[in-house]
Chain A
Amino acid sequence: EVQLLESGGGLVQPGGSLRLSCAVSGFTFSSYAMSWVRQAPGKGLEWVSTISASGGSTYYADSLKGRFTISRDNSKNTLHLQMNSLRAEDTAVYYCTKVEGYSSSWYFDYWGQGTLVTVSS
């Protein structure tokens, strides 16, 4: 059974940093690209970032402007999202997702339960 378990969310002040993690089981982690997708309260889904299976290629939403860094540890079956210079508009539930499909035709076939990040003073 595929399981994706996010952690690391919480309350952080504007300008602060937070590191999200996603522990994965049930499939060969090192064979699949992974992504983060977020959802602001009462809003729709927003793609955040994708990392290739090897970790050698990363992709980000333009709106993040270099503040977020996605990474993975294939030896520990773990995905990370380092978030810096956080703003109120980054407040959202962050979902870890398994990516299926080929580049330019990705889709997200498994989702974690999400972790809430709240940016507020």
Chain B
Amino acid sequence: QSVLTQPPSVSGAPGQRVTISCTGSSSNIGAGYNVHWYQQLPGTAPKLLIYYNTNRPSGIPDRFSGSKSGASASLAITGLQAEDEADYYCQSYDSSLSGVFGGGTKLTVL
């Protein structure tokens, strides 16, 4: 049972837009702590995708965007491509547990 709740799976056709939610509580996201997102391609280590809610590291396409409102955050992927098929994780800070991750969301490109 993860502290941050993500949908187990989402899917979309190439070119479409998908969003992945990350729901927390008043002790983490709702307390104002930042949210970060990671992409994990099959068989590889996770890679930073979004930091401080909305920022992209260099090299990350602008098809990926993040947002945060209240106790929730979202990752949006536009212009879906086959290579976007991966697991996505949100991460934040919890006042009782320090670092916390969401349970992960598997994105399937149809």
Partners in one complex: yes
Taking Cβ atoms with an 8 Å cutoff, the residues of A that contact B are: 35, 37, 44-47, 50, 59-62, 95, 100-101, 104-114
Q: Does B61 contact A (CB under 8 A)?
A: no
Q: Chain A contacts of B51 at CB under 8 A?
A: 100-101, 107, 109
Q: How far is the CB of B106 from chain A (nearest CB, A)?
A: 10
Cα(A100)–Cα(B57), bound, Å: 12
Cα(A84)–Cα(B32), bound, Å: 35
Choice from A35, A104, A107, A114 contacting B36 with Cβ under 8 Å: A107
Q: Can you identify 28 A-B contacts, CB atoms within 8 angstroms? A: A37-B99, A44-B103, A44-B104, A45-B38, A45-B40, A45-B89, A45-B91, A45-B101, A46-B101, A47-B91, A47-B100, A47-B101, A50-B98, A50-B99, A59-B98, A59-B99, A100-B51, A101-B34, A101-B51, A104-B93, A105-B93, A107-B34, A107-B36, A108-B38, A109-B48, A109-B51, A110-B48, A113-B45
CB-based contact B47/A106 at 8 Å: no
CB-based contact A105/B101 at 8 Å: no
Knowing A105-B52, A105-B93, the reply to whether A44 touches B101 (Cβ < 8 A) is: yes
Q: Chain A contacts of B30 at CB under 8 A?
A: none
Q: Does B97 contact A (CB under 8 A)?
A: yes
Q: Chain A contacts of B102 at CB under 8 A?
A: 44
Q: Does B64 contact A (CB under 8 A)?
A: no
Q: Chain B contacts of A47 at CB under 8 A?
A: 91, 98-101
Q: Chain B contacts of A104 at CB under 8 A?
A: 33, 93
- In this complex, the interface size class of chain B, counting residues with CB under 8 Å from chain A, is 20 to 34
Cα(A112)–Cα(B47), bound, Å: 10
Q: Chain B contacts of A37 at CB under 8 A?
A: 46, 99, 101
Closest A-chain residue to B95, C-beta based?
A104
CB-based contact A44/B89 at 8 Å: yes
